[in-house]
Structures are given as C-alpha cells and as structure tokens.
Structure 1
Amino acid sequence: MVDDGLTVRLVDYALSVQWERVSPPARERVKQLFLDFLGVALGGRGLADSTPALLRAGRSLAKGARGVCTVVGERRGFPPPVAAFLNGAFAHSLDFDDTHRDSITHPGTPIFATLMALAEVHHTSGERFLESALAGYEVTCRIGLAHGEAVHRRGFHPTATTGIFGAVSAGAHLLRLSREATLDAFGLAGSMASGSLQFLVTGGWNKRVHVGLCAHNAIYALTMAGEGVKGARAPLEGHNGYLRSYAEGAVKPARALEGLGDGQWQVLRTAVKPYPSCRYNHAVIDAIAHLVRRYEVQAEEVARLEIALPPIGYALVAVPVEEKRRPRSSVDGQFSVYFASAVAMLEGGLTWASYQRLDDPQVLALIDRTVVREDPSLQGMGARVMLVTHKGGRWEAEVPYPLGEPENPLPWDGFARKFLGLAQTVLPPARADAILQRAQNLEGEGDMAQFISLLRKG
C-alpha cells in the first residue's frame, strides 16, 4: 500500500482533527452550518412535494426493523441508514442547503445526515460531533478542489459522488475507527459513489434521493469496515479510482492538499443560501432585486432582461433554452435562471412559495423577454444582469459574490430567521426556538441524542 497518496493523506488528516486546535471563526461557522442543515431538513420535511413518497419509502424500508434514530418531524425511531437517508433527502429537497463554490458541492447535508444517525446511537458529545463535521467538510471540499467543474462536465452530481467520502470521514472520526478501518471504508465508499445529472432533463426527484443515499451508503461503508470488511486501496487517485472515472482525469490532486492542516478551514469557504434555488441563480436574483429597489422598476416596464453567467452555471440553469423557459416542476424551476429572474422581478427575491407560479402569465411573459448567455470572464457563482425598459432605460448590475458567500456573509440573525421560518413548518415555535438557542452552544451538549430528540414531532 502507498502511504503518501491522496486517500491516505486525507484519511490521516480527518482522523487527527481536534476541537482545541480549531480556530474560533471555524468553530462558530460549523455551528451555523449545522443550524442551517436542521432548518432546511425541517423545511424539506414540511414543504417539499417529494416528502410524502419519501416517507412512505422510508417506512417500508424500516418495516420489521427496530430503530432509535430521529427523522426530523417524525415521532417514531428509524434504523440509522434509513434515518440518514430521509434526513439527507429532506435537507436537499428545497435546494436550500449550503454550498462550497470551489468544489461546486453542497457539503453539509451528507455529512450532518450521517453524523446525526451515528451520534444518536453512540451518545456522542456535541464537541465530538462538531469536530467530526469539520473533518468531513475538509475531505469533501478538498476532493472537490481537485476536480472542480470536471465531475459536473462528466455528468455526475458531486454533492453525492464526492460527498460520500466526506460523510465517511466524518463518521469515521466520530466512531474513532482505526486508520486501517477508515481506509477500508473509503475503499468501499468508492464503489457506492453515485448520482447522475439526468434529473436535469426530466425533473425527477433523483437529485434529492442522491444525497439521502449518500448518507445511507456512508453508514453502510462505515459499518462494514468497522466489522472487518476490506475495501479497495487508493479509491480516489487510483487508475480506476474516483477522480479518473468521474472526472476523466481532468483534476489537480495537489489542490486538495494545499494548506491542509494549516488552519485554512473549508467551512469558512462554505456559503449559505438565502433562496431555495440552484446557487447559480442567486447572483441573478440579488442583481435584479438591487436594480428593482434602486430604480423602482415595475415588471410591466421591462422590455428585456439580459443575463450573463459563468459557463458551468450557464450549462446547469440556462440550457436547453426552450425547456428552461417552461419549467414544469419545482425541480425544473430550481434549475431555471429564466424562472428565477422573472420571480425576482415580481417579488424582489424567491421563496418556496414562488414555485406555485410556474404557470403564472406574468412570470411567463417576463421569461419570454429574458436572454441568457455564457461569459467565461465571470468566475465562481457570479452573474451580470442588464435591465432594459420600454422607455429606453438601461441599468446594469454585476454581483461577483451572491448573498451568503464568505465575501458577502449572512449574519447570525439571518441564520436564525431562515431556521425559524423553515423549522416552524413542522415544529411548534417554542421547540424551534429552543433548538436555536441550544445550537449556538452545541459544543457544550453532553449527549447529542438528547438534542436530536428535539427534532421529533410531538
């Protein structure tokens, strides 16, 4: 076995993370990201159109099995893999979960869905839970730094395919698995990394399921490895490993190791979404909302909207043009910049209720006056918008960093408002407020099982 390959380096680091060596900003950020996960999971449970079917499937999968693990908004307990599946799927259902722009992933959902199930079974402390989450973020985001856009271009969904390695890292840290067992878990996870972008064509619920299965499969890999099942070595960098197979070798492995262990925590590079939509739509929404406020433009005054996006964003939310102009489902709407821009003109933002307007004549009329192009000069999640009125007004706004990015952060009260608004779709206000207050001091929790039980209904 090669002892200095990418897999080994990341595993060794993940197992070595210690809370006392974590900077205060990273400590605060990981608690914020967990609170955000809880909010979007509860919101997905309460609002998403896929929830009833997912719950029926989860109950069928758990039939005949005993379980102690919490699924948000449910009274009964579930086996750990099923709880992880449902919580992960719920948290990704609204497309409202955190994002890491350099890896183009939603790192938190697979990590926290895995950790919640394991922490409840093993009565883990809050400090160990957060420490494990930090390890998971480092691994997911750093693998993503190596592959960048390449996994998307190959047709895969890296939140799930890359995310399983972060979820396994976090779980291995929490469980105190040995180095050998963790390497086995990585090797097994390499055969479970799955999720294609075909959902962009049909609007199915696969994307939500991908992330649930990622957490589910992470627990399977950890359990098997913990019991002595051997996994392949070098699952990341090997000749038939993840990076070559899922990114066609278009990778920079050295990027994954830059600054590793030097306090450059990836949670500090992770953004939070203010809108339940693909992150590539957010700069557009922000730009339009700014122009509407500044120039007091009404939707009926708009002759044309011109939008420029970075190439990967353009590929995800702007083409095929005719399909993106007429979204047929919430999933279609989440990945249509035409829909997002029209709603932003009418509402000054975008909420989950906005997806009730897929057939709204006002929305469709604005969509038909919108033109989108790709602009390689735009970086990350940025966008440029020009608004042209019937009277000849021309106003432009460029947003390099949408609200919620590290350079344009959401303050703590923004996290609180987002959490409470989503949590109260399922839980009574007093319970939601209690979770909010305790989450701010989560490292002081002696037994995460007690905290997690607050997420149950009743």
Structure 2
Amino acid sequence: MATIESELTRICCGNIGADVRALARFSLLDWLGCIFAARATPVALAWARALNADRHDVLRSAMSPDRTDAQGAALALGGLGNVLEMDDLHRASILHPGDTVCAAALAVAMRRPTSGPTLLAAIVRGYEIATRIGVAVAAGGYTPFYNSGTCGVFGAAMAAADLHRLGSAHLADALGQAGMQAAGIWQCRLEPGFSKQLATAHAARAGVLSAELGAAGFTGPQAILTGEMGFFKSYYPGADPAAVLDPQPWAISRMSYKPFPACRHAHPAISAALALGADLSSPVQRVDIHTYRAAIDFCDNTAPETADQARFSLQHAVAVALQKGAPEIVDFAPPALQVPATKALRGLVHLHVDPEYDAAFPNQYGARVVATTADSTTHTATCPAAWGDPENPMSEADLIAKFQRNAAHGGLTAKAATNVQEAVLALADAPDLGALAQSLAQSLVPQQETA
C-alpha cells in the first residue's frame, strides 16, 4: 500500500530532464563559492582544529579522498556553506538545501565512480526531498527547529543514496535512519557561536551515514515522517504532511540565490534601498523599512558589534546600501561597523511589520523602504521579490561573477577559480569527475607549494 513516504520517494526518483540537471550546476557552483569564501573565517579555523584538518585547512582535507572518507568529508564541507550568509534558499520551506545536499553529494561522488550527470541528478533529488518536507513543516512559519538541519538531513541522505544507487527498500531504510538523526534548534540564532554551522555539518554527515547504513541492510523505520511518533508529530505538530506530495516543478528550478552576504530576510530591503540610492539628492534624515515579522525578528539590530551580528541587521545592511551601493563581504567586517556615517544612519532606521508582506511569508519575502531627506521629501521603493528570487533571478553571468568574487575572497587565484568554474559547468556532459576533482585539488594547494 502506498504511503506518503513511498509516494514522496517515487516523486523524487522520477525522471530528471537535462535542463533541470543543468540548473544543478549553478547550485553546486554557488555553494562552492560560499565555502571557498568562508575558508579562513574563525568558524572554519575552529572547525579545522576540531577535525584535525591538514594545515588547518578544512577544505583541503575534505577534498582529498586519500585523507578523509565520505562521512568525514561531508562533515567538514557541511559546516561552511552558511558562514557568510550567501547560501541558496528555498523560500516556502525556509530551508537552505545546498549546505547539506551539495556537501553530502560531493563527498560521496568524489569517492566512487560517478559521472557528471549522475552527480547533478543526485543534487536535484536531494533538493527535492528536503524542500518538500520543508514546505510541509513551514506551513505555519518558523518553529523552534532549524529546518536546514532537521529537513536537510533527508536531502543529504537522498543525494548520497542516489549516488550509491540504492533500490527502493534500501532507500526507505536510509531515509528512516536520516529521520532518526534529524537535529537542530534555533537557540543558535539567539546567542553568538558556531552551532548553526554544526547543525548543517551534522546533517550532511548523517545523510551520508544513512545511505551507507541503507546499503548495508541496516533497516530503519518506514513511517519516519508520518508515524505516531514520527518526524512530523514529534518535531512539527503543526505540519501539513499532505503538502509533501503537492504537484510542483522541481525545487531546484525555484531557488533563491543571494547576491549579498547577509541574511536573506534583509535582501528585499537591500534591493529596495539600492533602488532608492540614485534618487537621494540630499542627506537622509529618516528611513522606514516595512516588511514581514520574521525579517524583523531575525534582523533587528541597530548596533551590531560583530560581522555575524551585522549580517543579521536590517539597519546596517540598508545603511550600507544607501551610502555605497551593493554590500560586499568587507562591509560586514568589524572596521566597517565603526564608520561614523554608517553608525549614524543605522540609528535613523525604523522597522515596521507590514500586514501584506507578513501574510505572504514564507512564500514571498518582500519589503518597502521609505527614505525622508533633509528637504522633507519622501522617497519610496518597494521590493516584492529580491534580486535572486525566481521572479527576479540572478543571471548565469551574475552567479558566475558571484562565484569568482567569493573564490577570490577565499584566496583562490583567478586561474584556479576559473578551472573550478569550467569543471562544474561541464558536468552535464562529463563522463567522470576527474576534471572537477583535479581543479578542486589544485585550487586548494597553498601558493608556496606551487612555487
């Protein structure tokens, strides 16, 4: 008899067209740029110490199949994608699937014979199951659980299981074991620390382990989502289980990408502020941001003291956008937080819950910014869909440019970054991952070793 779990896996294991697999190249490229950019952050350095990474470079160890197994690589890779808040987002599920799915898929694929199309298909399927479960649990908005961890583990398991070519019975076991390891609560956003990165890293590794358990015949609960003590009733009692089966295009075709290194909830306001910039002919005396409640809950910080806090500050992100244009990574670093003009403008920003935007969340993330200038003129810009959303997408050229900037920030040479970029974009026709593995290994060799 068909169950929600079996129907869900049937959907996710459906035929994937070449056009959809091609989209997965950009999800992988975007995630790689995010982890490259985070390579030398305090999170990455602490992570490297904890994992005893070679030369304190967690990426170098993870990308070397002779140094780490798939679980170890997924754990290492899964901790970096969300550090700088540039990871992809699926809005309706309030979920960043790339952090877990790409980490698990790449960790497994680099350690077994895999073609480029096979890797891309695994990523598509991982995104699909994670976001479908995420849509069901996000029906009422945020809960105390961190969806990227709790739902992301299913995506990681699906991607890894697909690469292991598990049949339906073993796949069901793998997903059951993934649910047994689902973890992540939002206390991590209320206190400073690296636990958000731990949640995605754990989910990536647990997904790989789940696939390996399934392959070994290590049986798991079949009603892991809908059982009396299953995932939905235990973690998300307000979930809508039937939503996982709703007819939808492949999730990877509906992703949002972040052009700016800040919480996605700040992006609609940033986009609106950028639209205002050219119209402001005199000094700003007041800024009013009208947006949805979750954006304010996450990003209300008039006086951020750290880069992490600044990335979750509507006031800072909008002040930067009004003063200098599109925010960059350096604009959230501690020195930028102390710029007198930026500090002054942050203090002039006022936040308001807009009922219309609030009702549209989480399916849409919108904002309206009103700037009042010294001549008492008001200037208004609205953003129903931020740049990078499916309705206002970043082009392929935009995503490539973002990858190049992030790779450079992570210390890659222009040649090394381009080699990785070309290898990823060629995956749709690649008979194996040789070119990708070589480009990744070469990009992470310290420059003194190549002299």
Q: TM over 0.5: same fold?
A: yes
2:241 match: 253
2:178 match: 189
> Are 1:331 and 2:308 counterparts?
yes
> Are 1:390 and 2:381 counterparts?
no
Q: Of 118, 126, 129, which residue of structure 1 is paired with 2:108?
A: 118
> Are 1:308 and 2:290 counterparts?
yes
> Are 1:43 and 2:41 counterparts?
no
Contact persistence 1:287–1:385 (CA under 8 A): yes
Q: CA deviation at 1:225?
A: 2.2
The residue correspondences of 1:281-360 to structure 2 (distance < 5 A) are 281-293=266-278, 295-297=279-281, 301-318=283-300, 324-356=301-333, 357-360=336-339
CA distance in 1, matches of 2:315, 2:269: 10
Contact persistence 2:423–2:439 (CA under 8 A): no
Unaligned runs of 5+ residues in structure 1 are 319-323
Q: CA deviation at 1:23?
A: 5.4
Q: Deviations over 1:341-395 (max 9, x none)?
A: 1221222121111112223332221121111121231132111111111220101
Q: Of 349, 366, 374, which residue of structure 1 is paired with 2:345?
A: 366
CA distance in 2, matches of 1:130, 1:344: 35
1:4 match: 2
CA distance in 2, matches of 1:69, 1:222: 24
Contact persistence 2:39–2:59 (CA under 8 A): no
Contact persistence 2:280–2:373 (CA under 8 A): no
The one-letter code sitting in structure 1 at the alignment partner of 2:371 is: L
- Structure 2 counterpart SS, 1:233: coil
Q: Deviations over 1:111-163 (max 9, x none)?
A: 1100111101112110111111111111111112212254x632111011111
The residue correspondences of 1:368-447 to structure 2 (distance < 5 A) are 368-378=347-357, 379=360, 380-424=364-408, 425-447=410-432
Q: Deviations over 1:392-415 (max 9, x none)?
A: 010111101100111111111111
The residue correspondences of 1:222-241 to structure 2 (distance < 5 A) are 222-241=211-230
CA distance in 2, matches of 1:214, 1:449: 27
Contact persistence 1:445–1:451 (CA under 8 A): no
Identify if the C-alpha distance between structure 1 residues 453 and 90 changes in structure 2 by more than 3 Å, giving closer, same or farther: farther
Contact persistence 1:71–1:77 (CA under 8 A): yes
CA distance in 1, matches of 2:413, 2:152: 32
CA distance in 2, matches of 1:68, 1:30: 21
The residue correspondences of 1:58-77 to structure 2 (distance < 5 A) are 58-59=51-52, 71=62, 77=67
1:54 match: 47
1:321 match: none
Q: Deviations over 1:252-278 (max 9, x none)?
A: 222221216xxx111111011101111
CA distance in 1, matches of 2:227, 2:246: 20
CA distance in 1, matches of 2:52, 2:69: 10
CA distance in 1, matches of 2:143, 2:81: 25
Q: CA deviation at 1:172?
A: 1.0
Q: CA deviation at 1:75?
A: 10
Q: Deviations over 1:19-69 (max 9, x none)?
A: 4xx152x233211111111111111114x3311111111226x99xxx999
CA distance in 1, matches of 2:112, 2:14: 19
CA distance in 2, matches of 1:297, 1:105: 39
Identify if the C-alpha distance between structure 1 residues 169 and 18 changes in structure 2 by more than 3 Å, giving closer, same or farther: same
Contact persistence 1:304–1:369 (CA under 8 A): yes
Q: CA deviation at 1:315?
A: 2.0
Q: Deviations over 1:160-186 (max 9, x none)?
A: 111111111111111111212211111
- Structure 1 counterpart SS, 2:171: helix
Unaligned runs of 5+ residues in structure 2 are 446-451
CA distance in 2, matches of 1:353, 1:359: 12
CA distance in 2, matches of 1:306, 1:138: 37
2:449 match: none
The one-letter code sitting in structure 1 at the alignment partner of 2:340 is: P
Q: CA deviation at 1:70?
A: 5.6
- Structure 2 counterpart SS, 1:45: coil
- Structure 1 counterpart SS, 2:376: coil
- Structure 2 counterpart SS, 1:38: helix
CA distance in 2, matches of 1:23, 1:176: 19
Contact persistence 1:276–1:351 (CA under 8 A): yes
Identify if the C-alpha distance between structure 1 residues 273 and 37 changes in structure 2 by more than 3 Å, giving closer, same or farther: same
1:217 match: 206
The residue correspondences of 1:5-154 to structure 2 (distance < 5 A) are 5-14=3-12, 16-19=13-16, 22=17, 24=19, 26-46=20-40, 48-59=41-52, 71=62, 77-148=67-138, 150=140, 153-154=142-143
CA distance in 1, matches of 2:315, 2:188: 18
CA distance in 2, matches of 1:219, 1:125: 18
Contact persistence 2:33–2:404 (CA under 8 A): yes
> Are 1:164 and 2:153 counterparts?
yes
The one-letter code sitting in structure 1 at the alignment partner of 2:326 is: G
Identify if the C-alpha distance between structure 1 residues 347 and 98 changes in structure 2 by more than 3 Å, giving closer, same or farther: same
CA distance in 2, matches of 1:426, 1:447: 27
Contact persistence 2:29–2:421 (CA under 8 A): yes
Percent identity over the alignment is: 27
Superposition RMSD in Å: 2.3
Contact persistence 2:93–2:135 (CA under 8 A): yes
Contact persistence 1:68–1:77 (CA under 8 A): no
TM-score, scaled relative to structure 2: 0.90
The one-letter code sitting in structure 1 at the alignment partner of 2:231 is: Y
Q: Which moved more, 1:217-226 or 1:383-392?
A: 217-226
Equivalent pairs, count: 433
Identify if the C-alpha distance between structure 1 residues 416 and 52 changes in structure 2 by more than 3 Å, giving closer, same or farther: same
Contact persistence 1:423–1:432 (CA under 8 A): yes
Contact persistence 1:283–1:399 (CA under 8 A): yes
- Structure 1 counterpart SS, 2:420: helix
